[in-house]
A = this chain, B = another copy of it.
């Protein structure tokens, strides 16, 4: 009797959002598929939806419950949204991790920080090398992106060859790392046709062809040459090619280079260690930089997204490691602002404006290019790969939907599959196999909490509504002992008639306690509810707000 095997694809993160990428492929009998995991990324919190949270990652409960079916973990590249959760989620899976050299170096740093075994990571060579993992054979195909050694995965299965694009752009002269290579892709397709393409969708709405990293050399060089004072440039720390372009432009303008920000220095040294970055100009330390005339100095700094603790933000507030911006200096954002970070970036721009520092941003593309394939480039890749089917990933819903639309226009079967939608790729078209419950995990301090645990909801409520704490002491006869005590946090101190809100609340609560019957006084739940309601009612009358309320009822016991 023959068993029917199926080929499945399941995004747990990254599909229907940009961030926290985590994808699963499976092959085998239904419910018994052998699994591989592609990427363990993070996304970043914001005050609106996740105040106080440190990092956000996919809830991988589904994988944890099937850990014995997992063959291996593959990391496509070293961007945080693909590798950032390695040190946090690996302990839940404890499987072998495969990555190329640069990515593996970054991965080992993360494992090391988390006190995890470094040998969990295995460095693999690029295509045509292959890793066997159960029914899968996986090869890392070099693609150009905004970080060294980004790799698409060719995933061979008994049911056909899959192409997981990872993050890529078409760049034939990427300054650092391997160029995009049409012939390589063609040879892969010629060897075995592509059953399904899982494809980056980030830039599907950009209708012009993408531009090469190398087109920035001239404009950046000219900009830096034209300046007299100190020049400071920020970009993503992992964009090693950009750092090289900036550093070489600085050298051409007789400037020494100082790199500020730990993540950027780590990326530079990881690139050098991996051998992907050579001939990076010599840098000076912040102490040495202080001795160099401003006109001969260029700082490369972290914080292109306005992160409050990064070097850019620190320089916008004053000195950082002794260095500071002055009138006539230039600050270059060689970067794009990710939606949601505008306010933080503008804050920095305005702070520099107050210092009479000239700020230049991407200049409509003069000083920054994206690391993702634009629509015409995606269409080019569709034509190169000629997949039977396409499933867009790495995008918000609107990106995925648009990517499906252009694939369909080109005659390719395509479906939107968001986080938790398990797709059956066995047939000629992708089919929804099942809906898996997915979600988000928060790293909060050192604790891991679920996004829906209520912890963050409580924080948001306190932030919106303020917090009132009520303390009531009852004696052995359930009679109030003394007055109710109220502490107020995050609320207008004065109510109507300029009377302190806490006083008014205490008076109302004490009066209530004096008049309410023993039935309520004896019952913690009833008393709690009544006091809570009274606090809210009085607060609405006094200051027009319904606060969060915590009631502590202490009952003295006969000794």
Contacts and interface: CB of A to CB of B under 8 A. Distances in A.
Interface of A: 16, 46-48, 51-52, 339-340, 342-343, 346, 349-350, 352-354, 356, 359, 396-398, 400-401, 444-449, 453, 455-456, 458-460, 462-467, 469, 471, 473, 481-482, 485, 487, 489-495, 540, 542-545, 548, 550, 552, 554, 556-557
A466 B453 CA distance: 14
Contact of A456 (B401, B446, B490): B490
Contacts of A51: 47, 460, 463-464
Contacts of A400: 353
A356 B456 CA distance: 31
Contacts of A545: 52, 444-447
Contacts of A459: 462-464, 466, 489-490
A446 B544 contact: yes
B354 A397 contact: yes
9 contacts: A51-B460, A339-B342, A340-B342, A353-B400, A458-B490, A459-B462, A482-B556, A482-B557, A552-B552
A460 B463 contact: yes
A122 B552 CA distance: 55
A398 B455 contact: no
A80 B448 CA distance: 43
A77 B346 CA distance: 27
Contact of A550 (B47, B481, B489): B489
Given A349-B396, A349-B398, A455-B492, 11 more contacts: A48-B343, A51-B464, A52-B464, A444-B543, A445-B492, A455-B466, A458-B490, A463-B463, A481-B556, A485-B552, A485-B554
A5 to B, nearest CB: 32
A340 B343 contact: yes
Contact of A490 (B52, B340, B473): B52
A235 to B, nearest CB: 20
Given A46-B343, A339-B343, A543-B444, A473 B554 contact: yes
Nearest to A447: B492
Contacts of A16: 350
A397 B51 CA distance: 28
Contacts of A485: 552, 554
Contacts of A350: 16, 396-398
A354 B17 CA distance: 12
Please tell me how many copies of the chain the complex holds: 2
B550 A444 contact: no
A548 B51 CA distance: 14
Across the A-B interface, the 4 shortest Cβ-Cβ residue pairs: A445-B544, A446-B544, A447-B492, A463-B463
A469 B550 contact: yes
A401 B544 contact: no
A404 B79 CA distance: 41
B458 A489 contact: yes
A52 B543 contact: no
Contacts of A456: 490
A487 B550 contact: yes
A308 to B, nearest CB: 10
Nearest to A344: B48
A241 B455 CA distance: 46
Looking at A340, A352, A353, A400, the one whose CB has the most chain B CB atoms below 10 A away is A353
Contacts of A491: 455
A82 B46 CA distance: 30
Contacts of A466: 52, 455, 458-459
A343 B401 CA distance: 19
Contact of A396 (B346, B445, B465, B489): B346
Given A492-B445, A543-B447, A353 B397 contact: yes
A340 B306 CA distance: 13
Contacts of A489: 458-459, 462, 467, 548, 550
A199 to B, nearest CB: 17
A482 B481 CA distance: 15
Contacts of A542: 447
B359 A398 contact: yes
Nearest to A207: B364
A455 to B, nearest CB: 6
Contacts of A401: 353, 356
B52 A465 contact: yes
A359 B399 CA distance: 12
Contacts of A339: 342-343, 346
Given A458-B489, A462-B459, A467-B489, A445 B543 contact: yes
Nearest to A442: B492
